[in-house]
A and B are shown apart, each in its own frame.
Chain A
Amino acid sequence: MKISDLSAFLELRVLSGDPCREYDGVYSGDFLSRAMSRVKADNLWITIMNNPNVIAVASLTDAAAVILAEGVTLLPDAQNAAGKKDVCVLTSPLSAYELCVRIHELQKSHAGV
């Protein structure tokens, strides 16, 4: 599925980059050194961290996109870095838990058709 296919259901707003990429798998967590080893290429990474280091980790792991939960937006430095490194970042008012549940539901119904 494309990230943009999730937009309405997850109440996503694009902060940076192109949400047309396909994603595969999800990681949720805020500690950078855990994310570094757990986020796989093409994953969605759900976090509430919004500093430039998040962008470096997303870029190094080749995450399809970062979804900032609970309405968090990027700090100015991070917004700059995301633009430069071409990292796709979105924000949602939902919690990390709700985001995971909804992504799971969408995937199930997608696989069913």
Chain B
Amino acid sequence: MAENVVFHFDIDGEDFSSAGGASVTVKKKLRQLGIDSEQIRRVAIAMYEGEINMVIHASGGTADVIVSDHEITIVLADHGPGIPDVSLAMQEGYSTARDHIRSLGFGAGMGLPNMKKYTDSMKIETELGRGTTITMTVNIT
């Protein structure tokens, strides 16, 4: 690939039922670009979890995906409440999701751990009351 391919999405924080749509679109695009299916799977998992977190915990945000010849970068940015204790939030099973969110199947506290597990790098920048930006990369081998 000579030039980077870039995708941008605005993630609606009100709309629970179509949450995950950006990830579904990215998966399709990566397939068209001929990316390996295991790498697509990893991007899909990481981006879906991040997208859902922005909807549930931060009333929406933006998602940018940059495909270069050696890696896929996913940048998720929101203006939500921020994460007070990142190392706690990263623990499997930790969740602040309320009951009505849990009844939809969210709140296992596995989203952030999944994002870490399925990517090659993950950086969380967060400020209380200002928002959170998560940058993840998946290497293209």
Q: Which A residues are within 8 Å of any B CB, using their own CB?
A: 30-34, 36-37, 41, 47, 49, 51-54, 56-57, 59-62, 77-78, 81, 85
Check A51–B17 contact: CB distance below 8 A.
yes
Q: Which B residues are within 8 Å of any A CB, using their own CB?
A: 16-21, 23-24, 27, 37, 41, 44-45, 48-49, 52, 104-111, 114, 117-118
Tell me the bound Cα distance from A78 to B109 in angstroms. 24
Check A81–B114 contact: CB distance below 8 A.
no
Contact of A36 with B114 at beta-carbon distance under 8 Å, contacts A51-B17, A60-B24 already known: yes
A-B interface contact total, Cβ < 8 Å: 76
Check A57–B118 contact: CB distance below 8 A.
no
Check A30–B20 contact: CB distance below 8 A.
no
Check A52–B17 contact: CB distance below 8 A.
yes
Tell me the bound Cα distance from A31 to B101 in angstroms. 11
